[in-house]
Chain A
Amino acid sequence: DIQMTQSPSSLSASVGDRVTITCRASQGISNSLAWYQQKPGKAPKLLLYAASRLESGVPSRFSGSGSGTDYTLTISSLQPEDFATYYCQQYYSTPITFGPGTKVDIK
């Protein structure tokens, strides 16, 4: 199974801050990586797929990069509605696995 790790596990930031979350896979996943945002009591929402492709309707302040085993999610200017938990997911092989999540809260 491919293990996914994320760092940090949580962070505090202010509106307008640039935020970066990293995700590492235990083996290469050929950019088969998605990022999701989840707010309390809600289903996850797809932000990016194929490591760097923005899902339709998602604001351009979200971006993704990386290759091989290491990937990043960047929010260029944090907005009030961005406070949430973020998960990475590999879909390179089954079992599909998710990172443990990064909680972004208000400083």
Chain B
Amino acid sequence: QVQLVQSGAEVKKPGASVKVSCKASGYTFTGYYMHWVRQAPGQGLEWMGWINPNSGGTNYAQKFQGRVTMTRDTSISTAYMELSRLRSDDTAVYYCARVGWYSSSGGKFDYWGQGTLVTVSS
């Protein structure tokens, strides 16, 4: 069965960086694009970007350009999202989500990780 398991909660100081991992299992990791979505406390869902696990190609939301880096390690079927120069308003739950169509950058998000809470506080 498809599973996306994310790394644990993080507490960071303003200005620091955080790297969240998303380990995939139960399917061919390189066949399905991975997206990252975040949710601030009590707020809605905000798309951050995607990575093509096959090529490593990325597409980031303009809001995060220059601060976000999405990478992957195909040998361990894991995607990563690193956010730098953290601010207090980056406090949120960060989710990875798989696109449900083979080799498609867009589409339904059929499987989600459990979420990783990143708290930014001095």
**Which residues of A come within 8 Å of B, CB atoms?**
32, 34, 36, 43-46, 49-50, 55, 87, 89, 91-101
Contacts and interface: CB of A to CB of B under 8 A. Distances in A.
Nearest to B101: A49
Interface residues of B, number: 22
Contact of A95 (B62, B109, B115): B62
Contacts of B100: 46, 49
A55 B109 CA distance: 11
Interface of B: 35, 44-47, 50, 59, 61-62, 95, 97, 100, 105-110, 112-115
A96 B47 contact: yes
A87 B35 CA distance: 17
A32 B35 CA distance: 16
A81 to B, nearest CB: 18
A98 B46 contact: yes
B61 A91 contact: no
A43 B44 contact: no
B66 to A, nearest CB: 15
B110 A97 contact: no
Contacts of B95: 43-44
A91 B59 contact: no
Nearest to B61: A95
B108 A95 contact: no
Contact of B47 (A32, A34, A44, A97): A97
A94 B44 contact: no
A49 B44 contact: no
20 contacts: A34-B108, A36-B45, A36-B109, A43-B112, A43-B114, A43-B115, A44-B97, A46-B109, A49-B100, A49-B108, A55-B110, A87-B45, A91-B106, A92-B106, A94-B59, A94-B61, A94-B106, A95-B47, A95-B62, A99-B44
A25 to B, nearest CB: 15
A89 B61 CA distance: 15
Contacts of B46: 98
A87 B44 contact: yes
Contacts of A101: 44-45
Contacts of B61: 94-95
